[in-house]
């Protein structure tokens, strides 16, 4: 079997890393394509090095663009590789334009598609990610659902049960594998002069929070209130695009400790040792749940409802009062929960299923 793994963003690299390692471990016939959806491959080389992964066989260097432009370019590039390589199955992960393009390109030339992390739903069609994940699920032949809840989402939409396999989420594999690598490489807390459980961690990047001046104003006001109430640093690795918007809007970060973007390995250490994490990222909601760190999501919905059910996460939106109330609740709330995303063997189960199918 020849397995074609497609990825294009750093979260995809992270969540596909256990699958790449499993293919390497079993000496399987596979290859990786990097679309370059968010970053050039040149910028991501260090990322592959940090995670100790082999370099992709192909990179498309697509870069940024409108949703249609980006998706179209990726489809054209992937189709050429499929026709040349003739893989038996294409694996895509998550809900990016890379996932949409990869699943469409493969299905149109009758190549099997396996969707890793299938069945997630926010039920908010204004989010491009929701469109991408729904389309990818409905053109895929094999759907790797991370939880029973995501399986039920797929069944409700009429997808045949025989196509769905509950495997757990590869993020559990990735967090445990990569945290071990991280701890062997250094200590970012020492570098930043932080003490475990004596700081908050902030991250936000979604368009609805970054591109909307009013939204960002409320969000930053809420975080400022938190800092003043608890007198603990709020550490904020600022994405270049977010930093640009902050400057354009004329906002001050005087109550927030803004730092350069950190590597994923450093970020894992920051997540694991934070008192609370404030985020609008779906991946961070999962990672904090796995690491045992309480999370406050700066959105009104989530495609990770399992985190709400076990009590590791709470939806706060961006209203400053709600952010403050959520911080009080999570600070005083339960300190442990059961991880709903599996046992850390998702990659093994996915590869086993591919071989059988």
144 and 63 in a common domain: yes
Domain that holds residue 352: 2-169+342-356
153 and 246 in a common domain: no
**Does residue 1 surpass a pLDDT of 80?**
yes
What mean pLDDT do residues 310-328 have? Answer: 96
| Percent of the chain surpassing pLDDT 90 | 81
How far is C-alpha 297 from the chain's CA centre?
14
213 and 152 in a common domain: no
Counted domains in the chain: 2
198 and 288 in a common domain: yes
Q: How confident is the model at residue 256 (pLDDT cuts 50, 70, 90)?
A: very high
How far is C-alpha 196 from the chain's CA centre?
24
Instruction: Report yes or no: 110 and 117 within 8 Å, Cβ to Cβ.
Output: no
Answer yes or no: 205 catalytic.
yes
347 and 319 in a common domain: no
Q: pLDDT tens-digit profile of 191-219?
A: 999 999 999 999 998 888 999 999 999 99
**Does residue 344 surpass a pLDDT of 80?**
yes
Residue 43 has what pLDDT? 61
Residue 310 placed within a domain: yes
Residue 174 placed within a domain: no
Residue 9 placed within a domain: yes
Give this prediction's pTM: 0.87
Residue 175 placed within a domain: no
**Does residue 227 surpass a pLDDT of 90?**
yes
351 and 298 in a common domain: no
Q: pLDDT tens-digit profile of 28-78?
A: 999 999 998 876 666 677 788 889 999 999 999 888 788 999 999 999 999
241 and 322 in a common domain: yes
Q: Which of 34, 38, 205, 239 is catalytic?
A: 205
Residue 41 has what pLDDT? 61
260 by DSSP, 3-state: which? coil
Average pLDDT in the chain: 94
Long-range pairs of 150-153 with CB within 8 A, sequence gap ≥ 24: 150/117, 150/118, 150/119, 150/120, 150/121, 151/119, 152/119, 153/119, 153/120, 153/121
CATH number for position 137: 3.40.50.2000
Q: pLDDT tens-digit profile of 271-298?
A: 999 999 999 998 999 999 999 999 999 9
299 and 225 in a common domain: yes
227 and 205 in a common domain: yes
Residue 298: C-alpha distances to residues 215, 278, 316 (Å): 10, 7, 5
């Amino acid at each position: 079997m020849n397995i074609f793994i497609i990825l294009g963003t750093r979260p995809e690299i992270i969540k596909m890393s256990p699958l790449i390692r499993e293919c390497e471990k079993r000496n399987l016939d596979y290859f990786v394509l990097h679309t370059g959806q968010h970053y050039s491959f040149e910028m991501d080389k260090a990322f592959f090095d940090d995670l100790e992964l082999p370099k992709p066989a192909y990179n498309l260097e697509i870069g940024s663009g409108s949703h249609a432009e980006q998706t179209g370019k990726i489809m054209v590039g992937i189709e050429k590789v499929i026709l040349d390589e003739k893989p038996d199955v294409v694996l895509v992960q998550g809900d990016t334009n890379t996932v949409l393009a990869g699943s469409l390109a493969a299905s149109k030339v009758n190549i099997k598609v396996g969707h890793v992390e299938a069945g997630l739903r926010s039920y908010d069609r204004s989010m491009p990610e929701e469109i991408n994940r729904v389309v990818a699920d409905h053109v895929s032949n094999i759907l790797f659902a991370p939880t029973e809840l995501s399986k039920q989402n797929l069944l409700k939409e009429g997808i045949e049960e025989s196509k769905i396999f509950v495997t757990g989420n590869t993020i559990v594999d990735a967090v445990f594998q990569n945290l071990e690598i991280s701890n062997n490489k250094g200590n970012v807390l020492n570098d930043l002069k932080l003490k475990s459980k004596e700081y908050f961690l902030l991250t936000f990047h979604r368009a609805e929070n970054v591109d909307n001046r009013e939204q960002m104003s409320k969000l930053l006001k809420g975080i400022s209130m938190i800092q003043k109430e608890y007198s603990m640093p709020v550490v904020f690795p600022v994405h270049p695009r977010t930093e640009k918007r902050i400057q354009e809007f004329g906002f001050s970060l005087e109550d927030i400790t803004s730092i350069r973007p950190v590597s994923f390995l450093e970020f894992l250490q920051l997540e694991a040792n934070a008192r609370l994490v404030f985020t609008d990222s779906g991946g961070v909601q999962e990672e904090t749940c796995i690491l045992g760190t309480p999370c406050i999501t700066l959105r009104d919905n989530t495609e990770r409802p399992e985190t709400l059910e076990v009590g590791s996460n709470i939806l706060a939106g961006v209203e400053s009062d709600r952010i403050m109330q959520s911080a009080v609740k999570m600070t005083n709330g339960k300190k442990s929960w059961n991880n709903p995303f599996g046992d850390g063997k998702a990659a093994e189960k996915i590869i086993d299923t591919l071989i059988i199918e």
